[in-house]
Amino acid sequence: MNHTMPPTPPDTQVILKPPKDSSIPNTPDSRVEPGIEARIEARIEADVVDPTHAPMESPVGFTAIAMLVYGAVSLLSLGLILWREGFEFFTFSIDRHLANGLLLALVLALFTVGASQILSRYTLWTRRLETELSMVIGPLPRYEITLIAIASSIGEETFFRGLLQPYLGLVITSTIFGLVHVPATPALRPWTLFALLMGFVLGSVYQSTGSLLPPILLHFLVNDLNLAGIVARHRKTAAGTSVCCREQGEKQGIEPQSPDRTGRSVDANLDGGRGG
């Protein structure tokens, strides 16, 4: 007896039903359920920050941990500087020399931020770095970025420039500063060279002015403006992705979903098609 399967009618599409515990349909070939690409893109879009809604909750404890770590580094460094130098280290007068140092810090910060944006446009490693950073700081509101920039600039400058550089010198301190910023991903290693260069710049500003205020200002502006720019570009990309997915969903007859209280959109069509 011939047990061959009857031929599939030409108007019938083969659909592989996904497992019940899978949120992404398993489609081994190109013959997929109509509109499934739009649903998948809508699910991906749901995990991206949508700037049209309220900011998502920040990563659990990220800002708090950063503030605690940099706060501890600052207190330890300032305590050791106070024990070594006395209160004279913390006295300063607002004179032309300090004003010139602060102005120099402002100019260098703007130049560095502009150079960072150029690198972001023309180098792959910078875009990869921004992608990884946006995964962490993308959900953060603006004021938390500023808090992190303040804490990191004070903590790192008091430790590297205020505590280490008078004893180790500009070269060794700047080298250590660069090595501290070695990323785990090999493709992002050029960031270490950028940090090394910034270490020499910050150390030279401190060495020429004799005050921690100019390097702290320079460090703060670079961190704050660069991180804010990364978040802005991240949310702009998310907005474009949201519009694109929404338009594709409308073409496929998928109604746009309302965001929940965390700012994430809920794809009822996809969730409802899991089969239980």
The answer to the question of residue 86 being in a domain is no
| Token representation of residue 207 | 């060495």
The answer to the question of residue 166 being in a domain is yes
The pLDDT confidence band at residue 50, using thresholds 50, 70 and 90, is very low
**Residue 259 forms beta bridges with which residues?**
265
pLDDT tens digits for range 196-208: 999 999 999 999 9
Average of per-residue pLDDT values in the chain:
76
Give 126-172 as a 3 state SS string.
Answer: HHHHHHHHHHHHCCCCHHHHHHHHHHHHHHHHHHHHHHHHHHHHHHH
Tell me if residue 265 falls in helix, strand or coil. strand
pLDDT tens digits for range 256-270: 554 444 444 444 444
Candidates 28, 24, 1; CA nearest to 14 is: 28
* Number of other residues whose CB lies within 10 A of the CB of residue 276: 4
- Domain span at residue 168? 97-238
The answer to the question of residue 91 being in a domain is no
The answer to the question of residue 17 being in a domain is no
Q: How many domains does the chain have?
A: 1
Phi, psi of 123 (to 5 degrees): -120, 140
CA–CA dist 41, 32 (Å, integer): 14
Q: Does the model's pTM come out above 0.85?
A: no
The answer to the question of residue 8 being in a domain is no
The answer to the question of residue 187 being in a domain is yes
**Residue 265 forms beta bridges with which residues?**
259
